[in-house]
Amino acid sequence: MRAPREAVWRACSEPRELVRWRFPLDMTARLLAAGDASYRMTLRYEDGRADTFGSTFVARVPNEQVVERIRFDAPERAGEMTVTTVLRDVAGGTEVAMRFDNLPAGVRPEDNEEGTRQALVRLAELVEVRANIDRRLAGIERTFGVEIFYACESGSRAWDFASLDSDYDVRFLYRHPRDWYLSLDEQRDVIETPIEGVYDVNGWDLRKALRLALKGNPVLFEWLSSPTRYLERPLAARFHDMALSVFDPVKAYRHYLSMARGQRRTYLMGETVRQKKYFYAVRPLLACHYLLAARSLVPMRFLDLMDAVTPPADVRETLIEMLRTKRRASEAAEAQRLPVLDRWIGQSLEALEARAPDPVAPADRAPLEQFFRFAIGA
């Protein structure tokens, strides 16, 4: 792995990182629960089947070794498997060795070996990307004299329908030293950096982010619920709680409905369409359906959102097949229009236009004001 051992260790020892790589190329993963020493995860096959397992960390020697005991829920995979991951420094990076003891009878050794090799390909990409992003974020802190307290993935990679050549849309929240906020002049409250290769890295100042939370900006709330987080300092947890306290499902609903309407009008009316544009119309419509029922933060992962909303079977099957295709295609890939999706999008827009979640009480900004003063040391 072309990354320092500390970065590889983090990817091998934290459940939120493991769910990003430890599965074969023809599968996806979802973290169901995570504690201090254990976690549960579901692996999904492209045909809809799933394997769920629980893992307990037996040993985690920082930057050297991780030992897990894993039990699958499926009866044909009964037994307790031990997985040992060992790291050591080599020229140019880190060597990763994995050993599997007591492999379940239902798992062929050759399948396990090939699946592990594919997973390690994911890990290699993940830790190299993570190292590059860490360097970019540290450089931004030095250049602009700020502290980044939260950074995450936004867009198609966080929604889990990225193409092979999708960018890494890194978004972050930061704070300046106290005196920056005491100036008579209004100063720039965003940091935008040039796109370099596949890295698109931008962020918002603390005060701007709090103002956007009060306005109900759904983009901010998507950042805060991203499954892929690159940096979380202690301030991030308090910021999350403050923002969540003023979440407004009505404002989010209007945002998603407008987004779906615009995507359909602009990109889905020709004879052929860019494949990803269907997802950019369907996801906000699913979000609207979710907000009517749950009135809470919309799940970021596309399959999680679809599971929560349960669209018609033909729509679901079409979307799952499109996901398979999109993950193997380029961002610019085009395809013929799909009548089953065109029909559902049109019907959903018509039905949702006349509805909205019940209004909520006006947000109390006093706790956010108090938090802001605390955060800047005022």
CA atoms within a 13 Å half-sphere pointing along the CA-CB vector of 342 = 12
Q: Which residues 6+ apart lie within 8 Å of 135 measured at CB?
A: none
| CATH ID of 145-246, from 3.30.450, 1.10.3470, 3.30.460, 3.40.190 | 3.30.460
Q: Which two tokens stand for residue 149?
A: 């307290």
Place of tokens 């950074």: 151
Q: Which of 184, 171, 178, 231 is nearest to 207 (CA)?
A: 178
Average pLDDT over all residues of the chain: 93
Characterise 377 by phi-psi region: left (phi > 0), alpha (psi -120 to 50), beta (else): left
Q: Is the pLDDT of residue 186 over 90?
A: no
pLDDT digit string (tens) for 23-51? 988 888 999 999 999 999 999 887 778 89
Least confident of 89-98, 101-110, 111-120, 327-336: 327-336
Instruction: Please check the confidence at residue 332 and state whether its pLDDT lies above 80.
Output: no
What Cα–Cα distance (Å) separates residue 9 from each residue in 14, 149, 208, 342?
8, 22, 35, 45
Name the percent of the chain lying above pLDDT 90. 80
| pLDDT for the residue numbered 49 | 83
Tens-digit pLDDT profile for residues 123-143: 999 999 999 999 999 999 999
- Reported as half-sphere exposure (CB side, CA atoms, 13 A), residue 141 has a value of 16
Tens of pLDDT, residues 238-286: 999 999 999 999 999 999 999 999 999 999 988 888 888 999 999 999 9
Same fold for the pair 5-123 and 145-246: no
Q: With 80 as the cut, is the pLDDT of residue 287 above it?
A: yes
Any residues with CB less than 8 A from the CB of 342 and at least 6 apart, and which?
A: 268
Q: How many percent of the chain have pLDDT more than 70?
A: 99
**Domain 5-123 in CATH: superfamily?**
START domain (3.30.530.20)
**pLDDT over 80 (residue 190):** yes
Q: How confident is the model at residue 299 (pLDDT cuts 50, 70, 90)?
A: very high
Greater pLDDT, 140 or 323: 140
pTM exceeds cut of 0.85: yes
Q: Looking at residue 127, what is its pLDDT?
A: 94
pLDDT tens across 192-234, in order? 999 999 999 999 999 999 999 999 999 999 999 999 999 999 9
Question: Which pLDDT band, with edges at 50, 70 and 90, does 357 fall under?
Answer: very high
DSSP assignment of 210-278: HHHHHHT-HHHHHHHT-S-EEEE-HHHHHHHHHHHTT--HHHHHHHHHHHHHHHHHHHSSSSEEEHHHH
3-state helix, strand, coil in the chain (%, to 5): 45, 25, 30
What are the CA-CA distances from residue 365 to residues 213, 242, 250, 369 (Å)?
Answer: 10, 10, 18, 6
Question: Where in the chain are the domains?
Answer: 5-123, 145-246, 249-353
User: How many degrees, rounded to 5, is the angle at CA 247 between CA 319 and CA 364?
Assistant: 175
**Which pLDDT value is given to residue 111?**
93
- State the pLDDT confidence band at 331, using cuts at 50, 70 and 90: low
pLDDT of residue 284: 97
